[in-house]
Every structure is written in C-alpha cells, then in structure tokens.
Structure 1
Amino acid sequence: MMFICGNLSAQQSVRLNHNWEFLKQDIGGIWEALRPVTAGNPESVPLWQAVNTPHCFNARDAVDPSGNYYQGPGWYRTQLDIANPYPQGRTILHFEGAGQKTDVYVYNVKVGSHLGGYDEWTVDITNAVADFKQNPVFKKQFKGKIPIEIRCDNSRDLESIPSRLSDFCVYGGIYRYLNLVYTPALSLDKVFASAEVDSEGKSGRLSIKARFYNPQSIAGANANVVIIDPQGKNIRHSDTQLTSLNNDEAIGLFTIDKPQLWSPSKPLRYTVEVTVSTPDGIFKQTEKIGFRNFEFADNGPFMLNGKRLLLNGTHRHDDQAGVAAALTEDMLRTEMQMIKNMGANFIRLGHYQQSRIVLNLCDSLGILVWEEEPWCRGGLGGEVYQGQARSMLTNMIEQHYNHPSVIIWGLGNENDWDGDFQEFDKQKIRAFMQQQNNLAHRLDPSRKTAIRRCDFCKDIVDVYSPSIWAGWYRGVYSEYQSVSQTEFKSVKHFIHIEWGGDSHAMRHAEDPYQGLPKISAGKGADERAGDANLHGGDARVSRDGDWSESYICDLFDWHLKEQEKMPWLTGTAFWTFKDFATPVRPENPIPYINQKGVVEHDMRPKEAYYVFQSYWADKPMAHIYGHTWPVRWGNEGEQKMVKVYSNCDEAELWVNGKSYGTKKRNSQDFPAAGLHWLVVFNKGENNIKVIAKKGKTIIKDEISQVYQTDKWSKPAKLVLEKLGEENGVATVQVKIIDDNQVQCLDAANWINFSLAGDGRLIDDLGTSSGSRKVQAYNGRAIIRVESNKGKSVVGVQSPGLPSVFLDL
C-alpha cells in the first residue's frame, strides 16, 4: 500500500519482521517486559530469545511426538524508531493476523486488544507514542526509541472460536505480518468495489464505496477514482466532493461495456485507484477487482460466465514444517503455485479467514475460493462466543470483499459435533446459523453462503456439502457416485467438500486391499464420531487399511474418473493439499499429523499429487508411480503392474530396454486412465522409463526399482546406515530385517530415533523423514542429522527389537 503526502512519496507501510524478542510464558506484570536484560547476569530473568516475525509459538511443539502442543500466553517485545512524516498524521500497528487473543502496549500503557486469530486489525498508537516521548526514560533508557510489547494467548477457552476440539491446531503468536503504518489525518479504512456483469459478459457495472478512518473528525475531502483495465490503460475516472465522512460513502459508479472477464483460465483484473485529499494530506489506496458472473444452477452444475465449470478443488491450512502458522510470503506463493500447477481451479480455505496474500494469489492465479469463518465443532457458546463469530464473519467479508476469486462465504464446519458445552441445542444452533446467514447476505448479497456437515442446518444456507468419505471412513470408494447422487437430490445446491484419506509418505504396497474384505458398501459413506480413531467401531479403511500411497492413489483415481461423468456435479474439493498438525491424532504413523495431504508437511509431493495433475493440469506431464518406492517384491516371473499418471494422449512403457507397447489414455479405464502395464521384473535392479506424447510435445520420466524375490519372516533386527552427507547434513536410514538378513518390506514397526553428541536431529517437522518417532514405511525409516562439524551417535529403538547405534 502506497501512502502519499503532498509532494512526499514514500513507502509508508513497513513490515516489522526483525529485532523482536520472544518469551514463551506469561510475566508477572508489564514491567517485566520493560526491564533490560544484562548479558551474563544470571538474575536477569525471564530469559527472552531473539526471533523474527512472522513467528508462531508452536513451530516445533505442534508435531513433537512426546505430547500435545503449548497452549498459553507468550510475549513479544521490540523498540521502534517512529517518525511520522505527515503533519497531524496517525501512527498505526496493522496486524494481518495474530493468535488468538492479543494485547498491545506502548511502554506500560495498554493501547489495544483483539479477540480472534485470523482476521486483520489495527491499533492506533499515535497518542501513546506522543505521550511516551514526554517521559524522561524515552531518551535515557530507550535511547529515543518506542518500546512495544505484545501479548498473544492461545489458551483453551470455551467462549472463543474455533473449538479446541477441532482437528487442527489453534496456534499462538504473531504468525502473520505486522506492519507499522503512517497515514495522514484522514485515511481510507476500506474500499468496497462491487463489480457486476451479466451472464453474457456484455455489460459491466462497477460501484465503489469508501469507509474512512477519521479520528480528528475532518469535515470534508475530495475523492478521486481511476479505473485501469488489465492492460494498464486508464478507462474511467471520477472526482467527488465529500461533505460526510461518517458512513460508507459512494465515490464512484461506472458502466463498462464488454468488460474483460475474470476466470481460472484467464484471471484478468482491473485496478481501482482511490485518492483522498484534504489540506492535511493525500492518501492513496489501490484495489484489484474482476468481472465475473457465477451461478449454482438449481439441482444442477456450477456456471461461470455463462458456461459450465466443474470445480476441481482442494483445501489448505496455515501450517508448514518448521514454522507452523508463520508462513512467509514466499512460502505462500510456492504453495499456491503448486496448487495451481496441480490443475486446481477451486479451494476451500479451511477453517478460518486466511491471509490477504493467499487471497491475492488466488485472484492472480485464477483459483475460485470458499472462505470460512472459524465456527468449527463444539456446539454454540454464549454471547461472547456469538459476538466473536459475528465479528469474525463481518471482518472476513469486509476485508476480502473485493477479491474476484471469492464465490462462497462459509458459515461453519461440522456444527453437528458437540462437546464443548453441557447443552447441545439444535434449535439454538439453527437460530444462530440463520442469523449468520442473514448477516452474510446483508454484508454481501453477491456471494453464496455454505456449510459442510450439519444436516439439520442444510436448508438455511445457499450451498450445502454433506459428509461423504467413500472408501475411507465408511464404505468402499466404488460407491462414491451413487452416494453422491443420493445426497445431491436432497438439496437444491450440492457440492462435495472433503473427501480422500490418509497416506504415509514412502509407504507402498503390492496389494493395498489386503485386510479390507470386511468393509461393505451400502451402509453409508459419512464420517461418524470415533471413525478417525485407529481402534474400535465398524470395519473401515481408515482403521483397517495400510495407509499406503498405493491405496490412496487408487481412491483418488477412482473419484476423479467418476467426477468426469457426473454432469450434474457442481464440483468437489479433496481434503487436503498438505499434511498438517492436529492435537487429536497422536496415534497416526506420524504422531499428531493429519496425513491426508498430497504433499507432505514440508511441501514434498506424494505420489497422489501426480494423480490429480494427470486429470486436471493442462501442461503435459507424465509420472511413473513409485519414485519413493525403491524395492518392490514378489515371485520370480510374476507379473506386476506399472502405472503411469499422465495427461498425455498416449504413452509407451520401457522396462530394462524392452518396450511393453503404447497405450492410449482413457480416463474411464481404471486405474491410471488406461496407462497401466503388466510387467515381469528382473530380480535385482530394474530400469523403468515412459515416453508420453501430447500433440508434438514429448514427456519422459524414468525410475529405478529393485525387485526382491527373497521371502522374509518376522522382524528380528535393525540395521542402521548412513546413506550420504551434503552441506553438513547426513541422511541416516534404519532397515528392519529378519534372522536371514532379508528386509521385511511390509514392516510398519514404530521407530524412535535419538542422538547424542555435537549434532542435531532434524526432527519435529511432521514428515515421514523428519520425525524422531515414526512408523516404518516398507521396513525402513529415514532421518537427517546436522553434524555441526562434530561427532555424534545416532540411536534407534523399536519395541521388541534390539536397539542399534551408529557413529557419525
């Protein structure tokens, strides 16, 4: 955001990323945050640590296998040089998101508080700064700088949302960007740009309103609006003299013939520049908008700009290895580009308002959005709870009103899930859901409302998603279409949000259906209480399956082929793009990780990523299944299936220099859209290569796999070895073998890594190769060690097997 005052033009919004100190506990009083720490003085407690923002309390402990993550207060402090260049200007701290309750101090004066971890908010510190500059300690103790202290708290609180029963971590910290902002005496709080176009795209209408920040009660201003088309040409402008600055004031109304339309394939955006002038200064704000027309046809598909568009979607949480919720702009850009490269045109931002950076990327990349308020699980609290829900819904809609990517405001998730309160009253939940639905439509009549999984409220919202987990929590995946069609007929506007299942990265199976014969179709495909547990209840894949990448690729493959022949389907979004931390799944193969992502917690793609690419992506691609499957097994001479996921028209497979023929892609030929071959492997090393063609484009992929014919008995020993070292980081692998030294390729034993010495285990990443406690994948597990230029000993313990050690 660029602010301009008179002839002065400078970037007047600065990210406060550096020079912070952090304390992961509470303090006895604000004076403890102001007391200087003397180096080497053991009485200088508590001890603060230097950090940069964005920063999350739970960057590591959310995936620490030894116990649940920290939920409590934490403090940040810094000292700022503050010199507002505007006469009579305002100095503001702008939080893009901090969790979950936040108090802000200038020196020892509390200047603001906020409840809610996901919406943006500001604190005007102008007066507090001016007052502190009169304090003698300003120059003496703080050397002319302004001390800022911030307390964040993610403690459990029944009267706040989201519920701590939710299947994700409710993080603490300044985990989105914090900005120091200088404005003139009068500035823009928000600009609302409503872009409408008819379904044929012939006529566009753009109406613009402004809300002002006017603490000094300035009486009037001039508002200048300029509209710039996607090619950078100024096409409209207006000047308005305003004598009222107290409400949302109309500052522009424009008609645009044949506007260039925004769509996933061509995300064309117009620029709206609003400049507000008074004798005290000039404030300029820029917004990006798009013209598009969308409709959920009654009992039919989704329409964008007059044509059917199948919504091919996923989900995301603000959660990544090593940082938890504190993702940088570069991290967010990488993730959203990977989602687009996968071919997605739709995303549900579950289960809370997300960063403006994410929304900007959805706009520019062409990804339609369902964004959601964090009313998730637990029931319905009292007035504080409901007031927060109203506030967060309002803030989400107003702060993201201009984004052309947004088509749905989500009002809740799994609101039929009780547990936080003694009372669970469906009628009260219905009444509040109706209030929230009315509020959303009053704030923004142009978008739809939706919820997922709360059948007793499905008639309230515009679009509804039931719970359908065919082939995971209930039933078999082959009944997906029939179950979906039954649910489709029960509402006017149906969408399928959340489907898929867990997979343990690098675990593969020759027969992923072994152990599943007791699971039968016809008994529903919804998720029910207790289904996520790994014990008890009815037979189900989530409990009885092997969690292999082999199974989950088949499940995704089947769903995607079926969706192509469901002409009434609006769309779906599988759960979820990336593995994420959760406090309610300590028994998973990676403890405290929901493993339903198609990329790992550190963004490494699993095999399933390429299944989606093969159906959705436009750019030619080909991927042989098994890049992370070094050893296959079976009998000598036995035929084994090789699958290639590709969006090319045809592909030829070569194994050990022999062609196994060319096959045409046919999405309805399961699995892998017909690109599967039966192959006889050599014992030992095998080279596998595919050459795929799409028009004149040729795509190649190649892997090597060992074929093991030796049979193994029960696990008896562990073998620990160093695979290699690069840039001071060693990769260590443990194998599980039987008494005859044969690797047990179906072994899923628990592995516990430890280390003594100068090095450091690279763990607490929540990944299959970045956790010190992890289930083996095909009789092995990997971890990395940072040597720190010293000596270390790696240890591995597995229940029932002798421990082993390795000197590094």
Structure 2
Amino acid sequence: MKVLNLSDKWLFTKENNEFNIEKEIDKAEHVTLPHCFNVIDGQSGEGMFKGECCYQRKLNISNEDINKFIFLEIGAASIICKVYINGQLAGGSECGFSMFRLFINPFLKAGENLISIMVDNRSHDNIYPLMADFSFYGGLYRGVNLIISEELHFDLMDNGRNGMYLTQKNIDKNIFELKINGKLINELSEPKEGKMQFKLIDKEEKIIFSKSLDVKVLNETNFALVEEIVNPNLWEGVENPYLYKLEVELYCENKIYDKKTIEVGFRTVEITPDKGVFLNGKAIKLNGVSRHQDFAGVGNALTKEHMDLDMSIIKEIGANSIRLSHYQHNDYFYTLCDRVGILVWAEIPFISVPTTSDKENKNAKDQLERLIKQAYNHSSIYCWGVQNEITIAIENETIYEMVKELSDMARKLDPSRFIAQANIHSVANESSLNGLTDIVGYNLYYGWYYKEMQDLEKRLDEFHKTRSDIPVMVTEYGVDTNPKLHSYNPSVKDYTEEYQLLFHNNALKTFNERSFVLGGYVWAMFDFGSEIRNEGGEKGKNQKGLVTIDRKIRKDAFYLYKAYWSKKFFVKLAGSRFINRHKELNDIVVLSNLKNIKIYLNNQFISEINTNEPMKTFKDVKLTLGKNIIKVEAFDDDGNIYRDEMILNRVKEIDKSYILLKHEDEKHVINWFEKFDLSNVQEVAIKECYYSTFDTIEKLYENEHAKDVFRKYFGELAETPQFHVMKGLMTIDSMSKRSRFNIPKELLSAINKELNVIPK
C-alpha cells in the first residue's frame, strides 16, 4: 500500500458552474491544501461568503496502478461536499469535520484524470451545526490523499481510520488487557490464506509481546487478539504520557500487503460525583481549556505548525485537559494530546438547535460514528460529548430522546469511555436531561451574561445538593476581553483585561474549593472567528480567549492560569498594557506561582509580599508624573530569582483610548419591555384553537395577525439569522425561560391577551 499526498496543484473558484465538474476550470486561483475560502471574511465581521465552490486537480494514474485498488481520502470538507471523477459523481460527505474515503476505481482511467470537488459552506436544515457562535468556514481544510492498495488490506471503508480498534482495560492491580479488533478486506473473489503479525513495543524498542495469527481472508474477515500486559508503564497524563506502539503487519505468500502502527497508552480514569477525577488512582482536578480550530489569516485550514504552536502554548499554561469544541478536530491534534498527556473531551456539533426536518437525527449520528471510530485509538480521550447547549431554543421530550439515542449509540460504539454533555445554564438541576449521560457539564457565564460572578458557587452547590449522584463540571466560562481596554474599576461588559482577571480568579477559586467539581474548561484558550459578532471593539471575533487569535498576545488572565496550574516558576506583572495611568496611587497586580515577591519603583525597593495566592496585589503604589519603572523579583526555595518589569506613564488626564465608547443603540438595555404598558395586566386563561405564547414562532408566522403581534414585541429579533434557525422550535413561552430575553411574566400575559383572540 502506498499513500500519495495530493496537497498541491489545485485550482479553486467560487464560480458555481456545472461545467467545472466535467472540464478544467479556465479562470481559477492556484491553491495548496489545506485551504479555507473564508480566511478574511470569516474573521472580519463584514459579511461572510457562503456558497458552493469548486476545487479541481488533475491526477495521473499509471498502467500499473490502474489495476490496483484506489481510494481518495479527504481529511475534511466544510460543510458538505460532492466528489466528481472525470465528470461522474463518485460520492460525498455531509460530515464537515470528519475524514472520509471513496473507492474510485470505477471512475478512473489510465493516464490523466480530472478530480472536481464541490464544497458548500451554507447552512442546511438537516446538517449540523445549524447555528452556533463561530464562523462556518468553507474549504478543503485538512488535505487530500490518494491510497493505492493491494487486494488485501485493513478495512478502509468502515468510517474509521485504521481498520482496527484497540481497547485497554485494567483487569487486576498491575495487569492490563489489550483487545485488538478489526476487519480485513479481500478485493478479489477467491479466498486468500494470510498471516497477521502483532508486536507491542515500548519506548526503548523492547518487544513486550509478539504474536502471529493465521487468517483466511474472504471478502470481509474480522480478526481479534487479546493479550495481557503485566506491569506496563502507565500513561500518567502530563506527568508522564508513556506510549507504546503496536505494529500490525498483514502477510500473504511472504509479502507484506498492509501495515499499521498505532500508539497506545495504558491508564485508568475514574470519575465520581463527590470526589472528582482519578487518573490511575490519583486524584486530579481537570484544569482544562477549550479550543476551536481557528487561526488569524488561516481560518480553519491549520497546518501541523499551527497545531504545534497551539499545543506549546497549552503546555506553557499548565493545562492537563482540553475540550476540543464543538466538533471533530484534526487527528494530528489528538495525537499531540496523546504524546503530551492532555486528557481530551471530544465532541460532535450537535449544538444549539436540533433539526426539525429529520426526525431520525441521522446527521448527528453519522458524525458521532465517525468521531468515535476515527479517534477511538487515542489514549488521551476520556469521554465523548454528545450535545452542547442543544436546548437554547426549547427543552422538551423530543430533545431528551435525541440525546438519549446519541448516548446509547456512543456507549455501544465504545463501552470503555464516559459519555458527556454540556448544558446551557437554563437547564434545571432537576431536568431529565441530566440523567442521560455519565458526566454533566454546564456552560456558566455568571457575571457576564447574567447575575453576578459569585453566583457560580451557588449554582454548583445547588446542583450537587439536588443531583448528588451525578458528576458535574463547568464546560464553558469566560468573558470577552480586548487587551487594548483597561479600567481602574473593572465591571461587567467593559471588555477590560482587569475584569477578565477578576472573573477567572473567582472561577478558579470556586473550582478548587469544591472536591465534587471535576474541573472546568475555560472559554476559550484562543480568540476565534465568529461572523455574527461585533462587540468589545472588534468585529467578527469571539474575544473570550486567554490568547489572541493570532497567538501574539497572552492576555493577563493567561498568566493567572499559569500561576494556578504550571509547575514552572515565573513572575508576571499584570497591567503592562495599561501604560498611561492618571491616578497617583495604583494597585500593582503580580501573577506568580512563587510566594515571595519584592517590588521596586524606579529601582527603589518599596514592599514585599509573602503569600501562596496566585494573584497578589501591592496596594497604593505612588507614581510620579512621567515615566515610572516597575520591577518585581520572585524567589524559589533554592535561591533562584525570577524577574519582570514594566513601564507606566503617570499622566494628568484619563486616556480615553482604554474605554470602549458604546453608541446608544449598542448599550445593553436591561428593561427593554418598559416601552409597553404592563400596568393592570391580568393573567389570561388560554383558549384552545386560538394562538398563544405556547405556539412556535413558525406557527405564529402562518397567520398575518399573529405574526404582527410577535413583531410588535420582538421585531429586532425577527431580523436575525439565528431567529430563522430557531423559529420552528422556539415559543415565546420558552423564550421567557432564557435570561438573555429578560421577559417578565406580565409581558407574557399582555401578549397572550392579543394572541388568544386570533383563531387558528
């Protein structure tokens, strides 16, 4: 078997022309894969192109290879794609984040062939994601390979990756069981006698076991091998991510027909509802970050170099877990997590709103199958996430059944891992939804979108009291932060680095003080593209990252996390971008995992702090007009000194560039409903056969009078793209249960008074 990389020599056009399928494009851009066609507009907030585009490449097949068995492997094409070979449809994919393969011999000829791939990033009402707070980039963004195989090979067409699945299980104190299951394919009609050779090899190239298996390969032949591994070196997360490699060779008549090498780590993960997570019996807190596949000027077409950079920053901060949101990521990044020791929450894009056009929910199931089969052999993955905030529009029995089906399917495909879900905050602690998975996560933004940041601890305590049998964690939490903005008095929605510090310090303390909280996944590690956004002084980006989208700026909160998590000593002065200070007395914040800190002003020692708190404050440091040099020194137990410094300018007047000026129409109006007269509103007894707040918005829109009532109260909402996705599910009553809409009970009665006189 040989694998050819087809990353070069592609033509690309946004012109949707049926002739592009059959003949070479005459006017096109020359591109190299991976490629994204929303590199600029997916991050600009100025309107994003969505449509069907064409990638095209010539492919020469030799007279020798045409008699072999040829597969086209596409790393991912977003969101859907169709593949044509010499003008004929060879297949396609509606799973925009998964790898897929096509058997293309029936469409090939010896000599020159034309591959045309139509990629479409428009939203479709039966393909996930339907709606989400990130840009739906389009492109062939993970490369394309040509696989040329002999007649005998491991299965390439089961929606998996390797044609085999490795399951490790601890069966005694120091003994693990390794199960190897897979399928062999014989492309010819007559059976073949063959042999399989299995070798497990450690890092020192020592062979742990070597076993052979005689096989008679029919069209399809399953194989299985079970071995006991005594006293293996354990995969211990970031402390020691020890990996073995399994080599499997398929022989026939003394010739190697196929070979696979798969890395495997031996570990146990136990999760309890009261004491948290145990890795190999050792209690750990999941110090987690969340990551989108997104990079400035690249979109989702990340190279290995981009992914290596991301992992180096994640290692620097000291994280031991990552939530790869909200879809299947590049297989190389899962491999990096295996090798670095990062525990992974892997998930599918069953997010925000479910389809109403496909009762079988087929696309979510297809994406779940591909995720689990293609990432199954990664030792870093400890759970499969089956939904994220799927009840944004409505929570009902239909959604419960969808989540249950996905959970059951995941357990059947992989009984060895946990099943997880991430709920929006409005899902009640008592909700039936919380009983459908092994782990429940909540996306909690107390102190940003609703209430106060201190309400985070109340919510977690209430959940644990109500559902003490369910392991819980916080799967999203964060605040949008523009590193250009600063304040002496940080507050909600000021987008300053100072508020981000306060918010995250509160969250980390809350998690650490509660053993029952498994941990959290900060939202997010890096800023990312979101075409619908325009806030915090930036268009087209979600700025909740600890690091900017170009990876050039580590915000102050990054170093707060490093102070909590990292074992590598350092000291960092916060507020170094808050240069122009108009006040004489300033609190200087220091972030460090060392407790003994000295501070100097203009080379003069002024104070010392001795505390284990990661965030330390020197109060009322007096600045003189003009330039001031702040230096800090931190000391470890061996006498090593760690230093940082910054320059602050004392100015006479406030620097207004640090303050985000909001236009009147951009300000958040808490009581938007005050323009309606809600005095003396009486509760309405709902009559059947008339419209009410319990009808879906789509149903209201079927009647012009009911539609007018809705638009009277929610006119601005009706114009948003998100509304059009949700209107088939959402009712005004379900909207009232979401804090973002802030609908008082009296307003529901007022609306029902108008709707409930309109006959259906």
User: Which position in structure 2 is the counterpart of 1:426?
Assistant: 396
User: Which position in structure 2 is the counterpart of 1:23?
Assistant: 13
The answer on whether the counterparts of 1:380 and 1:429 sit within 8 Å (CA) in structure 2 is: no
* SS of equivalent residue, structure 2 residue 376: coil
* SS of equivalent residue, structure 2 residue 362: helix
Tell me, in whole angstroms, the C-alpha distance in 2 between the residues paired with 1:217 and 1:169: 48
* SS of equivalent residue, structure 1 residue 56: coil
The answer on whether the counterparts of 2:185 and 2:221 sit within 8 Å (CA) in structure 1 is: no
1:106, CA displacement in angstroms? 1.7
User: Which position in structure 2 is the counterpart of 1:77?
Assistant: 56
**Equivalent position amino acid for 1:576 in 2:** A
1:299, CA displacement in angstroms? 3.1
**Equivalent position amino acid for 2:611 in 1:** R
1:188, CA displacement in angstroms? 1.4
Tell me, in whole angstroms, the C-alpha distance in 2 between the residues paired with 1:304 and 1:312: 13
Tell me, in whole angstroms, the C-alpha distance in 1 between the residues paired with 2:471 and 2:38: 39
CA gap of 1:384–1:566, structure 2 versus 1, over 3 A, is closer
Pick aligned residue for 1:114 from 85, 90, 93? 93
User: Which position in structure 2 is the counterpart of 1:166?
Assistant: 132
The answer on whether the counterparts of 2:24 and 2:114 sit within 8 Å (CA) in structure 1 is: no
Query: Is 1:496 matched with 2:477?
Result: no
The answer on whether the counterparts of 1:506 and 1:628 sit within 8 Å (CA) in structure 2 is: yes
User: Which position in structure 2 is the counterpart of 1:62?
Assistant: 42
User: Which position in structure 2 is the counterpart of 1:687?
Assistant: 629
1:243, CA displacement in angstroms? 2.3
**Equivalent position amino acid for 1:121 in 2:** F
1:633, CA displacement in angstroms? 2.0
Tell me, in whole angstroms, the C-alpha distance in 1 between the residues paired with 2:479 and 2:278: 29
User: Which position in structure 2 is the counterpart of 1:617?
Assistant: 566
* SS of equivalent residue, structure 1 residue 703: strand
Unaligned runs of 5+ in 2: 156-162, 664-760
User: Which position in structure 1 is the counterpart of 2:593?
Assistant: 647
**Equivalent position amino acid for 1:22 in 2:** F
Tell me, in whole angstroms, the C-alpha distance in 2 between the residues paired with 1:627 and 1:217: 71
The answer on whether the counterparts of 1:226 and 1:238 sit within 8 Å (CA) in structure 2 is: yes
Unaligned runs of 5+ in 1: 4-11, 38-46, 134-143, 419-423, 514-540, 713-742, 752-808
User: Which position in structure 2 is the counterpart of 1:272?
Assistant: 246
C-alpha deviations, 1:434-470, integer Å up to 9, x for none?
A: 1111110111001011111163411111111123222
Pick aligned residue for 1:349 from 324, 328, 331? 324
* SS of equivalent residue, structure 2 residue 382: strand
* SS of equivalent residue, structure 1 residue 481: helix
Listed as ranges, the matches of 1:229-244 within 5 Å are: 229-244=202-217
1:226, CA displacement in angstroms? 0.6
Query: Is 1:371 matched with 2:356?
Result: no
* SS of equivalent residue, structure 1 residue 640: strand
Query: Is 1:566 matched with 2:514?
Result: yes
Tell me, in whole angstroms, the C-alpha distance in 2 between the residues paired with 1:245 and 1:332: 41
User: Which position in structure 1 is the counterpart of 2:660?
Assistant: 748
1:644, CA displacement in angstroms? 1.1
User: Which position in structure 2 is the counterpart of 1:554?
Assistant: 502
1:157, CA displacement in angstroms? 0.7
The answer on whether the counterparts of 1:90 and 1:183 sit within 8 Å (CA) in structure 2 is: yes
User: Which position in structure 1 is the counterpart of 2:733?
Assistant: none
Query: Is 1:156 matched with 2:130?
Result: no
User: Which position in structure 2 is the counterpart of 1:806?
Assistant: none
Tell me, in whole angstroms, the C-alpha distance in 2 between the residues paired with 1:219 and 1:651: 74
CA gap of 1:341–1:84, structure 2 versus 1, over 3 A, is farther
Pick aligned residue for 1:94 from 73, 80, 96? 73
User: Which position in structure 1 is the counterpart of 2:184?
Assistant: 212
1:665, CA displacement in angstroms? 3.0
The answer on whether the counterparts of 1:159 and 1:385 sit within 8 Å (CA) in structure 2 is: no
Tell me, in whole angstroms, the C-alpha distance in 1 between the residues paired with 2:617 and 2:606: 11
1:353, CA displacement in angstroms? 0.8
Tell me, in whole angstroms, the C-alpha distance in 2 between the residues paired with 1:84 and 1:174: 29
Listed as ranges, the matches of 1:288-307 within 5 Å are: 288-307=263-282
The answer on whether the counterparts of 2:3 and 2:148 sit within 8 Å (CA) in structure 1 is: yes
Tell me, in whole angstroms, the C-alpha distance in 1 between the residues paired with 2:525 and 2:62: 44
CA gap of 1:660–1:451, structure 2 versus 1, over 3 A, is same
User: Which position in structure 2 is the counterpart of 1:576?
Assistant: 524
CA gap of 1:323–1:750, structure 2 versus 1, over 3 A, is farther
1:430, CA displacement in angstroms? 1.2
**Equivalent position amino acid for 1:204 in 2:** F
1:86, CA displacement in angstroms? 6.5
Tell me, in whole angstroms, the C-alpha distance in 2 between the residues paired with 1:430 and 1:262: 36
Pick aligned residue for 2:102 from 120, 123, 127? 123
User: Which position in structure 1 is the counterpart of 2:547?
Assistant: 599
User: Which position in structure 1 is the counterpart of 2:355?
Assistant: 380
C-alpha deviations, 1:579-612, integer Å up to 9, x for none?
A: 1111332344211211100011111222211111
The answer on whether the counterparts of 1:362 and 1:369 sit within 8 Å (CA) in structure 2 is: yes
The answer on whether the counterparts of 2:546 and 2:558 sit within 8 Å (CA) in structure 1 is: yes
**Equivalent position amino acid for 1:271 in 2:** K
The answer on whether the counterparts of 1:510 and 1:633 sit within 8 Å (CA) in structure 2 is: no
1:415, CA displacement in angstroms? 1.1
Listed as ranges, the matches of 1:703-714 within 5 Å are: 703-708=646-651, 710-711=652-653
Listed as ranges, the matches of 1:524-539 within 5 Å are: none
User: Which position in structure 2 is the counterpart of 1:53?
Assistant: 33
C-alpha deviations, 1:74-122, integer Å up to 9, x for none?
A: 1111123334877953222211211111111222122121111111111
* SS of equivalent residue, structure 2 residue 534: coil
Query: Is 1:401 matched with 2:350?
Result: no
Tell me, in whole angstroms, the C-alpha distance in 2 between the residues paired with 1:97 and 1:274: 27
Question: What RMSD, in angstroms, separates the aligned Cα atoms of the two structures?
Answer: 2.2
- Report how many aligned residue pairs link the two structures: 643
Tell me, in whole angstroms, the C-alpha distance in 2 between the residues paired with 1:19 and 1:448: 43
User: Which position in structure 2 is the counterpart of 1:435?
Assistant: 405
Tell me, in whole angstroms, the C-alpha distance in 2 between the residues paired with 1:489 and 1:466: 15
Tell me, in whole angstroms, the C-alpha distance in 2 between the residues paired with 1:58 and 1:215: 40
Tell me, in whole angstroms, the C-alpha distance in 2 between the residues paired with 1:27 and 1:226: 52
CA gap of 1:245–1:644, structure 2 versus 1, over 3 A, is farther
**Equivalent position amino acid for 1:593 in 2:** K
The answer on whether the counterparts of 2:44 and 2:531 sit within 8 Å (CA) in structure 1 is: no
* SS of equivalent residue, structure 1 residue 582: strand
1:397, CA displacement in angstroms? 0.6
Tell me, in whole angstroms, the C-alpha distance in 2 between the residues paired with 1:98 and 1:352: 13
Tell me, in whole angstroms, the C-alpha distance in 1 between the residues paired with 2:454 and 2:326: 29
1:260, CA displacement in angstroms? 0.9
1:255, CA displacement in angstroms? 0.7
The answer on whether the counterparts of 2:168 and 2:176 sit within 8 Å (CA) in structure 1 is: yes
**Equivalent position amino acid for 1:216 in 2:** L
User: Which position in structure 2 is the counterpart of 1:325?
Assistant: 300
* SS of equivalent residue, structure 1 residue 583: strand
Tell me, in whole angstroms, the C-alpha distance in 2 between the residues paired with 1:62 and 1:371: 24
Tell me, in whole angstroms, the C-alpha distance in 2 between the residues paired with 1:595 and 1:608: 13
Tell me, in whole angstroms, the C-alpha distance in 2 between the residues paired with 1:285 and 1:606: 42
CA gap of 1:675–1:747, structure 2 versus 1, over 3 A, is closer
Tell me, in whole angstroms, the C-alpha distance in 2 between the residues paired with 1:216 and 1:702: 71
**Equivalent position amino acid for 2:128 in 1:** I
User: Which position in structure 1 is the counterpart of 2:461?
Assistant: 485
* SS of equivalent residue, structure 2 residue 177: strand
Tell me, in whole angstroms, the C-alpha distance in 2 between the residues paired with 1:437 and 1:65: 36
1:695, CA displacement in angstroms? 2.6
**TM-score, normalization by structure 1:** 0.76
Tell me, in whole angstroms, the C-alpha distance in 2 between the residues paired with 1:245 and 1:53: 37
The answer on whether the counterparts of 2:56 and 2:116 sit within 8 Å (CA) in structure 1 is: yes
1:152, CA displacement in angstroms? 0.6
Percent pairwise identity: 27
User: Which position in structure 2 is the counterpart of 1:698?
Assistant: 641
1:284, CA displacement in angstroms? 0.4
Tell me, in whole angstroms, the C-alpha distance in 1 between the residues paired with 2:662 and 2:9: 41
The answer on whether the counterparts of 1:642 and 1:676 sit within 8 Å (CA) in structure 2 is: yes
* SS of equivalent residue, structure 2 residue 314: helix
Tell me, in whole angstroms, the C-alpha distance in 1 between the residues paired with 2:544 and 2:70: 44
* SS of equivalent residue, structure 1 residue 477: coil
The answer on whether the counterparts of 1:664 and 1:675 sit within 8 Å (CA) in structure 2 is: no
